[in-house]
């Protein structure tokens, strides 16, 4: 099995990710996150929020609506320019993105030696349309947001007026976006419904400030992925060519991962200039300028954006953590991301005194780790339980055995080294907290 298939199979088998609406044959480009997937994804979002909002004085968070006045998307340029070039295979009428050369080559190969001809590229708009209203025929067309970005920009004035931010400052947001992707694929990598985690950072509109903050945010975002354990050799920056850049971008670099299907973007850092605020000012008639008290000047700020995909990040964290060892599969997820931090086992499930003690240890840990679920397993033998926890990345397993009943000690087994040590129950929480914080 190739690597991506292994990840897809593990994800389904252990409850990370399932196909959307699977019992009805699925719906292309949609995915559902299972009990472990939702924890992993939430942990990623929590780490993003904590690094962007909780650990900084210059950034605030918002949560804007998915449905927005359609004028927003006219102003932002998405109605006109949010397009991909689409070509159609003249043999089977399947449609592909003309700029995804590997997909085109693979498709040509699938026709086994036949001469494949393609139609001329057509522009295809990615915005997903919906209808709002109660009376058939009088419903108005809206769009499901194609990026979460505009929710920050339309609230620029609200945030300025209701909080104490001063330029330079940022608005962070995490939320769903929707794109009518021509060819969803590579598991969750290209979906039609996905989540983004973004920072929109407003700065003085000068080249000097743009350069300074652009470099700063590029480095900060790379550091964030490294701090959560992604292999440095598998990460790189790539600058967009001029013809690749989105309509709003003055400069664009991607953070790419060396994935099972090649180097791929999972976060973009863009210099949006004053595109968004000037467009919204023009189309809404509302003054979007900022008055800088220090310099006594009024200006439209420039924006440096960091825009990452939660689903792509989740996928690449899974791929990066996946290891096959001699007698086990282990997900070496960073403890901050692991769905379960700790699993608790009674050595034998048919000894009530062991089970009772194990339940009390479970309760003790659950009280101390309210922000994450503790795993419980009393099936099969202890080896199988370790194997099962390794496969989902649980950093520590705690076993309650007969010695526990005598001296109130348990074993802690470390996922990465498979080493065990005995610890007294009253010291357990503290010991685990320290190990998880390393
Ligand atoms: P691509 O070139 O792969 O289509 P993009 O350059 O259009 O991506 P952006 O518009 O910069 O992507 O969006 C920011 C981030 O949102 C991306 O880095 C990615 O992580 C995520 N993203 C974009 N489109 C999708 C998608 N269809 N499925 C999952 N995540 C996506």
Name the pTM for this structure.
0.94
Burial of 197 (0-12, 13-18, 19+ CB in 10 A): buried
Ligand 1 mean position to 247 CA, how many Å?
A: 15
**How confident is the model at residue 370, as a pLDDT?**
63
- Angle between helix 3-13 and 310-321 (nearest 10): 100
Q: Are strands 31-33 and 193-203 parallel, antiparallel or unpaired?
A: unpaired
Asked if residue 198 has its Cβ within 6 Å of ligand 1, the reply is no
Q: Which residue's CA lies nearest to atom 10 of ligand 1?
A: 147
Q: Rounded mean pLDDT of 370-379? A: 84
What percent of the chain stands above pLDDT 70?
99
**How confident is the model at residue 371, as a pLDDT?**
59
What percent of the chain stands above pLDDT 90?
83
What is the C-alpha to C-alpha distance for residues 370 and 29, in angstroms, rounded to an integer?
33
Q: What is the pLDDT of residues 34-79, one digit of tens each?
A: 999 999 999 999 999 999 999 999 999 999 999 999 999 999 999 9
CATH superfamily of 340-437: Anticodon-binding domain (3.40.50.800)
Label residue 134 by pLDDT band (50, 70, 90). Answer: confident
What is the C-alpha to C-alpha distance for residues 145 and 227, in angstroms, rounded to an integer?
31
Q: Where are the domains of the chain?
A: 3-65+146-320, 340-437
Mean pLDDT of the chain: 94
Is the confidence at residue 438, as pLDDT, over 70? no
DSSP state of 244: G
Asked if residue 175 has its Cβ within 6 Å of ligand 1, the reply is no
Asked if residue 196 has its Cβ within 6 Å of ligand 1, the reply is yes
Ligand 1 mean position to 122 CA, how many Å?
A: 20
Q: Which residue's CA lies nearest to atom 8 of ligand 1?
A: 265
**How confident is the model at residue 1, as a pLDDT?**
67
Is the confidence at residue 31, as pLDDT, over 70? yes
Label residue 378 by pLDDT band (50, 70, 90). Answer: very high
* CATH fold of the domain at 3-65+146-320: BirA Bifunctional Protein; domain 2 (3.30.930)
1-5, 205-209, 329-333: lowest mean pLDDT where? Answer: 1-5
Q: What is the pLDDT of residues 206-258, one digit of tens each?
A: 999 999 999 999 999 999 999 999 999 999 999 998 888 877 788 899 999 99
- CA dihedral (5, 8, 9, 12) in degrees, to 10, reads -170
């Amino acid at each position: 099995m190739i690597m991506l298939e292994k990840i897809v199979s593990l994800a389904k088998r252990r409850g990370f990710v399932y196909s959307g609406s699977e019992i009805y044959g699925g719906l292309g480009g949609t995915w559902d996150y299972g009990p472990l997937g939702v924890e992993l994804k939430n942990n990623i979002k929590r780490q993003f929020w904590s690094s962007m909002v909780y650990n900084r004085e210059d950034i605030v968070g918002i949560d804007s609506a998915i449905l927005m006045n359609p004028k927003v998307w006219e102003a932002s340029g998405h109605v006109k320019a949010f397009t991909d070039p689409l070509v159609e295979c003249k043999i089977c009428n399947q449609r592909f993105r003309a700029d995804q050369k590997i997909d085109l080559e693979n498709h040509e190969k699938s026709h086994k030696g036949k001469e494949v001809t393609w139609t001329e590229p057509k522009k295809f708009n990615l915005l997903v349309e919906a209808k709002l209203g109660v009376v058939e025929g009088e419903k108005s067309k809206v769009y499901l947001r194609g990026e979460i970005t505009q929710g920050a920009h339309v609230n620029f004035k609200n945030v300025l007026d209701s909080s104490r931010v001063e330029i330079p400052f940022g608005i962070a947001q995490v939320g769903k976006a929707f794109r009518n992707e021509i060819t969803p694929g590579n598991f969750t990598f290209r979906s039609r419904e996905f989540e983004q985690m973004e920072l929109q950072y407003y700065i003085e509109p000068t080249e000097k400030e743009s350069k300074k903050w652009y470099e700063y945010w590029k480095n900060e975002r790379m550091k964030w992925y490294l701090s959560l354990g992604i292999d440095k050799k598998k990460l790189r920056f790539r600058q967009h060519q001029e013809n690749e850049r989105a309509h709003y971008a003055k400069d664009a670099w991607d953070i790419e991962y060396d994935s099972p299907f090649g180097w791929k973007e999972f976060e973009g850092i863009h210099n949006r200039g004053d595109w968004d605020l000037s467009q919204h000012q023009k189309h809404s008639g509302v003054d979007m300028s900022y008055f800088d008290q220090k310099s006594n000047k009024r200006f439209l700020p420039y924006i440096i954006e960091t825009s990452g995909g939660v689903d792509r990040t989740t996928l690449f964290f899974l791929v990066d953590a996946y290891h096959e060892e001699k007698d086990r599969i282990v997900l070496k997820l960073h403890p901050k991301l692991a769905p379960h931090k700790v699993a608790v086992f009674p050595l034998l499930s048919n000894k009530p005194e062991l089970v009772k003690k194990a339940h009390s240890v479970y309760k003790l840990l659950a009280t101390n780790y309210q922000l994450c679920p503790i795993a419980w397993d009393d099936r099969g033998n202890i080896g199988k339980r370790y194997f099962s926890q390794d496969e989902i990345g649980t950093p520590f397993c705690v076993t309650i055995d007969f010695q526990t009943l005598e001296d109130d000690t348990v074993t802690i087994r470390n996922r990465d080294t498979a080493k065990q040590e005995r610890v007294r129950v009253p010291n357990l929480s503290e010991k685990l907290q320290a190990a998880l914080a390393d």
